[in-house]
Chain A
C-alpha cells in the first residue's frame, strides 16, 4: 500500500502575515491628478485586508494547495459527483485571450468563433440526451433544475393549469437539490418511497399522481446506481396525469450512447458539464448545468438562445414565451468551451467507452467492496451503473465504527472518501462513484484501504474512530464550528471573540 502524508503547514491566515506598508500589487501610475470626490461618498473605514508582498501571497496559497486533495492526486470517488480526470489540454485551450478577454456585450460579428462553439455544443448535447433544444445558461446543476422547474411552471401556466398543478413528485432517493429547486419554483414537494428493488415504487407513484401533479423529477440511473427499468411505464403514468418529466443529469455519465433520457420519456434534462464532460470542479465550482427540452417546450427556454442563420451565429432574445433571464449574460462560457473540446476529442466512440468503463469500474468495485467485512451492498442482485451505495450499518453495529469514521480512516491511505450518509434510504450509506478514469491498480488500492480499515474496526476500533492522522489536520470539531458561542466566519469575528 502507498503511504500518504499530507502537508501540515499550520499556515496562518493571510491577514496574520500582514506587515504595514507591504504591497503585492503593481499598478500603472495614473499620471493624472487625483479627482476630488464629495467627502460624504468616501469610505470612512479602511477594509482590514492583508498587506503582503507577492512572494508571501504565492507561498501562502501554494502551501494551502498542498493541504488540499484533488483528482490529480488520486481516486476521488464521491458518489453522484463524477470526479473524473480533467484532461490537461482543456486547461491550455481556455488559457487564451481569445476567450478570457471576450466581453459578453461584444458585437456578434466579433465573437463568431465562440458563438459557433456554443451553438455546436448545444446541438451535441441535445443529441446526447435525445431532446431537441438546449440552453447553455445555467451555472450549475441546481441552477438547471430551477430553470427546468420554471419551464414546468410556464408550461402549465400556458395551459391555464398552474393554479391547480402545484405538486412536484420526487423519490426519497433524490438529490437534495431536486426538492429545493422545485420549492424555489413555487411547487409543493411530494416525496414517494422507493420499492424493495431500490427503484421508484410504481404503485406509490400511481397513488401520488393526480390533477395536482405538475411533474416528476428523477435521476436515472438513480442514486443507488440502479437503472430505473420501469422508466417507460413511469413516463406514461406521469404524462397521462398531465405532468412533465424532469431528468436530473447528475448521473448521465453511464448513459452516454447507452440510453437517451429524451427517448425514455423525459421532457426536460439538465446536464452537469463538470461531471460528465471532463471539466474541473474547482473546489466547489464553477460548473455548468445546461438544460435540454423537447419540441413542445422549446419556446420556454431562458433568453437568449444561441442561433444560426446560414454561416452567421447570433444570440436570440426575441422569445416571447421564455421564462426570462435566470442569470447575468449567457452562461459559463469558458467551462462550456472545455466541454466542447472534450466532446470533440472523445467523439461518439470515446463517449460510449466512458459509459462502459465507468460501469465496469463501479460493478468491479461494488463486488469487491461488498466482500469486505462489515460492509453490505443493498439490492445485491441488481447490476449497477456508474455508482453504488454500500451500507456500513453492520460494521457500526458490531464495532461502533460508523460510515463517517470509516471515511475518515480512508483518507489516511491517500484516497478520497465516498459520499457518506446519502442517499437517505440506506443506513450508514457510503455512495461510491469511481468513474472511468481510474485504473484497476488504483481500484485495488482503494479496496485494500477499505479492507485495512475494516480489519482495524474489528480489532482496534479506536484507531478508526480517531482517524484521520495523515491529513493536514486531525478530526475536526464540527459541533464547535456551528455553535453560536464559538462560531467564526471571518477573521474580524475571530479577533473579536478571542
Chain B
C-alpha cells in the first residue's frame, strides 16, 4: 500500500524508508522472510477494500438502522439482560479515554485511577451482596455460576452441585459446560409447581456427603422469591456443602442480601448497574464470597488497598495474584485474564449515583410497576398471572394455557402493534405450557403497561 494511513503514522513513505535504512533492510518484505514461502503465498486476504471513515460510518449506521430497539418498540423482555436506565454520568465516565484505552493495571503507580475505581466497585458489590469480598469482575452471571461450582468443588473436595430446576437455560448449560471436564455432576432439585419453592423432600434426598454446593436464585429466573432460602442454606451447611445465591442487584436495595440469607458465595449479573443491554454483551459477572478460606480460591482479579513503600500515601494494587494464570499457570483458580473492568467501572459509577436510597427507590419503582402490570393482566379473561404463587420482583410468568392461544402467536400479534412481548417459555420449560416471562422495570411508563394490557385484551378477543 502506498497511501499513508491515519492510524499508522509510520506508513508515510519517507518514515518507512528511514526506518528500513536503520535496519539495513531493503524493503518490509525482508522482515517477513522467515515465514516459509509456501505459507506466505496463500496469505492474501479476500476482504473488501478499505473505506473512508465517513463511508464506514454511513454503511454501519445503515445496517444498524434495520434493528428495532427498545426505543422503537415497547419491550417486556428480560430473563438475564434487562432494560434499565443508564444515567448520562455513567456513560460520561466510561468514555473517558484514560479509562477506556488502558489495560489491566500491571503498572500500578501509573494506573491508580482504575485500581481505586475497581477497589470501590469491589467494596460496593460486597456491601450490596452482604458478603466480605468481591472480585473485580467475571464475564457474566452464567460463567460466574460455572466458576462458583468449580470453586465449591475445590473448597470442599466434593463433586456434586445442586441447582433448582427453574434456572435460565443459558446459565444451566454454561454451568454444565464448566462442570463436565472437572467431573462435577450437576443435579437438579425439584420446585413446587404452585409456589416455585424448592421441595425440601427432594433436596434432602439429593443432598449428601458428595454435595459441594447448593445453589438458588433470589429472585429466580421466573421472577419469584424462594421464601425458604435461609433454611435451605442451613441444610446445605449441615451437610458440609457451600451455599451459593444468585441475585439481581436491582433487588438488593429492598430485598434480603445473599449474605443475610447465609450464602458463602454470591453471584449475579451486573448489567443492570449502568450497562446497556448491547444485544447481550458485554455483561458483568458479579462474584463475592465470605471467609479467608474461600477468598484464596476465588477466580478473577482482586484489588487491594495498601500504601506506598515510604508510607506517604494510600495506594491500590492487584493482590493475591498467586491464584492467577499468569503466575500459577495450570494450577490457577481460573484461566480468566481479560475481564469486564469497564463494565465494573460503570457499575461503580452507577452505585455511587444511586446510593442506598436510590437503590431502595429503584427497587420500589420496579416492584410497583411490575405488580401493577401483573394486576392489570390478571384481570384479563383466561390469563394466569403470575403463574407461581409467591412474591415476585421485576419478572413474572403469564400463563396463556386457558386462552388456547400460543405465546409465539401472541408475540407476533404484539409486534404488529409495536410491542415486544415476554420470553416464550414453552421450549425452555415445556411443563409450564403456553406461558411467557414478562419483565417490567423503572423504564416502563404507565402508558406502556396500559398499552400492553389493551393489546393483549384485543389479541385474546380476536380468537
Contacts and interface: CB of A to CB of B under 8 A. Distances in A.
B63 A117 contact: yes
7 contacts: A48-B356, A61-B348, A140-B337, A285-B340, A286-B339, A475-B309, A481-B305
B279 A333 contact: yes
Interface stretch (A29-37, A201-209, A290-298, A455-463): A29-37
B107 A346 contact: no
Given A70-B100, A341-B56, A50 B276 contact: no
A127 B140 CA distance: 29
A194 interface: no
A284 B252 contact: no
B75 to A, nearest CB: 6
Nearest to A340: B60
A258 B32 contact: yes
A86 B329 CA distance: 30
Contact of A52 (B143, B352, B367): B352
B361 A111 contact: no
B223 to A, nearest CB: 13
Contacts of A60: 352
B71 A184 contact: no
B101 A71 contact: yes
Interface in A89-147: 89, 91-93, 95-107, 109-114, 116-117, 124, 127-128, 130, 139-143, 145-146
B36 A232 contact: yes
A489 B120 contact: no
Interface string B3-40: 00101111100011011101101001011111110111
A239 interface: no
Contacts of A28: 365, 442, 445
A325 B142 contact: yes
Contacts of A95: 91, 95
Interface residues of A, number: 210
A281 B22 contact: no
Contacts of B77: 103, 105-106
For chain B, give the interface size range. 35 or more
Contacts of B38: 232
Interface in B64-78: 64-71, 73, 75, 77
A102 B64 CA distance: 10
A360 B335 contact: no
A476 interface: yes
A307 interface: no
Interface in A39-98: 40-52, 54, 57-58, 60-73, 76, 78, 81, 83-87, 89, 91-93, 95-98
Contact of B73 (A110, A282, A422): A110
A45 B356 CA distance: 10
A425 interface: no
Contact of B45 (A323, A325, A351): A351
B257 interface: yes
Contact of B227 (A41, A73, A179, A353): A41
A481 B97 CA distance: 28
B177 A325 contact: yes
B34 A491 contact: no
